[in-house]
Amino acid sequence: MAVNLTFIQPMSSINATFILPSSFYIIGLDNIPHAKYYYVFLCFVYAVTVLGNFFIMGTIYLARSLHTAKYIAVFNLALSDLCGSSALIPKLLDMFLFENQYISYEACLANMFFVYVFMTQQSLTLLAMAYDRLIAICFPLRYHAIVTKPAMTLIIGAMWILSMSFTALMVVLVTRLSFCKSTTVHSYFCDHGPVCRLACNDYSMNYIIGSVRTATLLYLPLILIALSYVCIGFALQKISQGVERIKAIKTCTSHVILVAMFYLPIIGIYTAALTTSINTNVRIINSALTQTIPSMLNPIIYTLKTEELLQAIKVLYKRTKVNSAM
């Protein structure tokens, strides 16, 4: 395999040469028979993801009853799911179905940035939705005064700035790395860890920033979500009527399922990677499914488990029937 490298400038302070690759080779699944069937499956996943999340966003946009602070967060989750899958799957399919596995250096950094930004947004949006449920159950009388549309818009905007800033810093630091040996990335996209491990010079700062970003934007939101449900649990104990308690629990069901689907596989993969040696192909398959399956299932689960959304869909369907009959 040819390694295409470009010599940039001498680094006299360390008596070395800074080498910038013109492209990387994304290896993906290595020596697995019938691997193309896996990528065809991802085509199906992407098609369902696009249809489902467009459906959710369209419903929220068209139904006036859903123009609330809560559904600003739901809309943002659907947008993040759609964009996250679009940043990952089409390029992945182009690489492995059409054997176009070389990616330019600049495109690699762009791919890394967008995949991580949208994955981070999914995590932070689930935290915003947990905040919504916390206020609704623990402070029901003050809910509409606290969780307003401007407040939720501000929260979502701050989350976008935070995720983009952290990820941009992480990606910019990759440009200080020199690649004088292999440019073969053992992953299914321009993954930060596998790319940094190819560097010839010190990448400890990249490792630190990547770890801080993961702790701040992935583990910290999960901890805060868990704490919010501890508070919700205490609040539910104070509700004397069983019917009201069940009703309150039902409003959290869809969110709890979304949180479990998103975080449990990611935490499992990261924990396993720290404690045991995982086969590269197993890691790649698990990571790809972890980043794509929740985005496909989120709109389905939220539609089936949320009464307000189901009611809005029924109203829109009836309105469509009436308009078509006229």
Tens-digit pLDDT profile for residues 19-75: 888 899 988 776 777 777 888 888 899 999 999 999 999 999 998 889 999 999 999
pLDDT score recorded for residue 253:
87
What CA–CA distances, in Å, run from 13 to 18, 20, 202, 269? 11, 18, 14, 40
d(CA 186, CA 197): 10
d(CA 271, CA 293): 20
Q: How confident is the model over 178-225, as pLDDT tens digits? A: 988 888 998 888 999 889 999 988 889 999 998 898 888 888 999 999
Whether 6 and 20 have beta carbons less than 8 Å apart is answered as yes
Q: Enumerate the domain spans of the chain.
A: 22-325
Q: Which residue has the tokens 């086969």?
A: 279
Pairing of strands 102-104, 184-185: unpaired
Q: How confident is the model over 215-239, as pLDDT tens digits? A: 888 889 999 999 999 999 888 888 7
Q: Name the fold adopted by 22-325.
A: Rhopdopsin 7-helix transmembrane proteins (1.20.1070)
Rounded mean pLDDT of the chain? Answer: 85
Q: Which residues contact 69 (CB under 8 A, 6 or more apart)?
A: 132, 147, 148, 149, 151, 152
Question: Which token pair is 56?
Answer: 């959710």
pLDDT score recorded for residue 14:
42
Q: How confident is the model over 108-139, as pLDDT tens digits? A: 999 999 999 999 999 999 999 999 999 999 99
Length of the chain: 326
Report which of 85, 154, 40 is spatially closest to residue 299, judged by C-alpha positions: 85
Burial class (CB in 10 A: 0-12, 13-18, 19+), 177: buried
d(CA 272, CA 274): 5
| Segment (H or E) for 237 | helix 220-237
Question: Which token pair is 181?
Answer: 């040996």
Does residue 4 carry a pLDDT above 60?
Answer: no
**What is the DSSP code (8-state) at residue 101?**
-
pLDDT > 70 in the chain, percent: 91
Please tell me the pTM assigned to this model. Answer: 0.88
